[in-house]
Amino acid sequence: MRAVFVQLQCAPGKTYEVADALYEREVASELYSTSGEYDLLMKVYIDDGVDIGKFINENVANVPGIVRSLTTLTFKAF
């Protein structure tokens, strides 16, 4: 299983709605509001062999109110 971090930029005024929708989908291990260019930071665990881009597109990026996403893959936890 691989940890993947996804930053999400939301339409103005939609951050809480996006966070609620992601919570209902039960895809995030952790979900935080953040300052800066992106509004939310989520940590997801994706099974080995699963296409990460497809997983993000089908489970995260299609949530209404998300304008942009940035996915960061991880290698090793220290």
Domain boundaries, the chain: 2-73
In CATH, the architecture of 2-73 is: 2-Layer Sandwich (3.30)
pLDDT band at 70 (very low <50, low <70, confident <90, very high): very high
Read off the pTM. 0.91
Q: 23-53, pLDDT tens digit by residue?
A: 999 999 999 999 999 999 999 999 999 999 9
Cβ atoms of residues 27 and 44 within 8 Å: yes
Residue 39, judged by CB atoms within 10 A of its CB (0-12, 13-18, 19+), counts as buried
Report yes or no: 60 and 71 within 8 Å, Cβ to Cβ. no
Name 18's Cβ contacts closer than 8 Å, sequence gap at least 6.
Answer: 8, 10, 39, 40, 63, 64, 65, 66
